[in-house]
Structure 1
Amino acid sequence: MAPRSYRAIFFDLDGTLLPMELDEFLGSYFEAIARFVATHGLDAASFSAGLKAGIGAMAAHDDGRTNFDAFWESFFTHADRDAARWEELLAGFYEHDFGAIGEGFEPNPAAARAIETLASKGYPLVLATMPMFPRRAVEWRLTWAGVDPSRFERITSFENSTSVKPKLAYYAENVAACGLAGEDVLMVGNNTVEDLAIQGLGADAFLVTDHLLDPTDGFDLDAVQHGTMEEFAAWVETLPACADPAHGIDPDVIETARAAALTNGREA
């Protein structure tokens, strides 16, 4: 079967470009941020409660707010708003301390090779990662993966996203940001639910199997293109140059996400 003529390629990060075990990463992250807060003399218990509430709010809300706004509103139901300049304080954590979590990590060189091959062929790239982290944290994680963040014309983060995976609205706003229809996009990921949800918009997909996650516990791999990251990197070498790349991809908040999802006949 001949490949589609893709106008943009979307990539997941955790378990796809970044071959890091998610539970291990999250454990190191929560430990590092708790230690950071404690060194500034802040109450660790209320901070932890606020952090968990904020994460839960980002996952649950469906009201058009950015995940940034949803996070901070819920965070302050537990943490003392006046105890610190919170946004400034945590920006410092993500700029410096967060980066140390990935020290010594060994990336899969096939990930960078695939990205560079696609970029050389003119394919616009979008990092469609779960948008619960600040942009700076996402850039750090790309660096750990050995991938240049500047290769991506749009990187999802809690600042520019109004939804999360696997909600269709998350993918709809990213397709809208590219000025495309779903069928113009290839999604590359490792999760049969979170990453393949974009197929509800008509997108094609490639499932990377090195760190495959199948919450359904029975997904038929033959239903989608699949292979290791090494095999994916070899596959993209066979693709032609991008004949009609997306132009003017918006890196910021897109207000048309819900409308775009409804246009495709489904509501996230």
Structure 2
Amino acid sequence: MKALLIDYDGTLALVDEDKFAEEYFFSLNVFMVEQYRIALDHFEILDCVAHITKCADGTTNNYDRFLKCLSNKFERFDWKSVFESFYASEEFDRLRELVRPNDKAIELFKRAKESGLVVVLATNPIFPKSATEKRLRWIGLSLSDFNHVTFMENSHYCKPDPRYFLEICRTISVEPKDCLMVGNDDLLDGACTNVGVKYKPVELFSRDGKKNLRDWLLE
């Protein structure tokens, strides 16, 4: 095994994802009303997330496709500025109350890094770099802790598209067969097995955390 790919939501971070999504869209709406005097239908944003997930051809990164989708719906805004301002705002910062570090998964990540493995934050790239960086800080980590981090600007696919995992492998120059994906979602994270990346649910390490890391990785 040469590389560990590890998820964020539900893996490195313990979070009720439904509650987080609810509060995320509430905070975004508060921000939009205060800053731009407009309320957004969050289904319009989700529609653009679905668009970048289902309609990827590999030529344009996720962020550019997402912004274009929103611009087609609401031409009056510079959506990149809108989201960058939101992710720098107190409204976004308050969401950290919903997130706490998963100590077992962070232990796995640190032990893998110390053992010389390439470590990748393989979080679904539906957030831009600025938001991903901040979300990592909420659990005591940073972009520099990883050899590679996926976010909207450097990714052309989303989970569960198998090409998402192949893009990671190309970026880190490691063959899929030499990678292990650890996550909490058998559908989204487990899709890696379609291209030869091994998958293990994070719950297994939570139970077997005392094992020798190399033995656990090679099982």
TM category, shorter: 0.7 to 0.9
RMSD over aligned Cα atoms: 2.2
Q: What is the match of residue 220 of structure 1? A: none
Post-superposition shift, 1:187?
Answer: 0.7
1:234 to 189, 192, 210: 210
Contact 2:20-2:98 within 8 A present in 1 as well? no
| Structure 1 residues 238 and 63: alpha-carbon distance in aligned structure 2, compared to 1, 3 A threshold | closer
Q: What SS class does the counterpart of residue 20 from structure 2 fall into?
A: helix
Are 2:69 and 1:74 aligned? yes
**Counterpart AA for 1:238:** L
Deviations 1:146-184 (A, max 9, x none): 334321111111111111111111111111111121111
Q: Distance in 2 between matches of 1:107 and 1:49?
A: 29
Please name the residue that 2:144 is paired with: 150
2:88 alignment partner AA: E
Q: Are the structure 2 counterparts of residues 107 and 49 from structure 1 closer, same or farther at C-alpha, using a change threshold of 3 Å?
A: closer
Residue 96 (structure 1) shift: 3.1
The structure richer in helix per residue is 2
Out of 69, 76, 84, the residue aligned to residue 91 of structure 1 is: 84
Q: Report matched runs for 1:109-188 at 5 Å.
A: 109-188=103-182
Q: C-alpha displacement at 1:232, in angstroms?
A: 5.2
- From the CA coordinates, give the structure whose radius of gyration is larger: 1
**Aligned counterpart in structure 1 of residue 36 of structure 2, from 34, 41, 47:** 41
Q: Unaligned 5+ residue runs, structure 2?
A: none
Identity of aligned residues (%): 28
SS in 2 for 1:146: coil
Q: Could you say which structure has the greater relative contact order, defined with CA pairs below 8 angstroms and 6 or more residues apart?
A: 2
In the TM superposition, residue 21 of structure 1 has moved relative to its aligned partner by 1.1
The match for 2:10 among 15, 21, 24 is 15
Gap regions ≥5 residues in structure 1: 1-5, 210-226, 243-268
Task: Report the Cα distance in structure 1 between the residues aligned to 2:156 and 2:19, rounded to whole angstroms.
Answer: 27
Aligned partner (choices 179, 195, 199) of residue 201 of structure 1: 195
In the alignment, the residues of structure 1 paired with residue 183 and residue 131 of structure 2 have an alpha-carbon distance, to the nearest angstrom, of 19
Q: Judge conservation of contact 1:50–1:77 (CA < 8 Å) in 2.
A: no
2:37 counterpart SS class: coil
Q: TM-score, normalised by structure 1?
A: 0.73
1:26 aligns with 2:1: no
Deviations 1:96-131 (A, max 9, x none): 332220137432222322222121111111111111
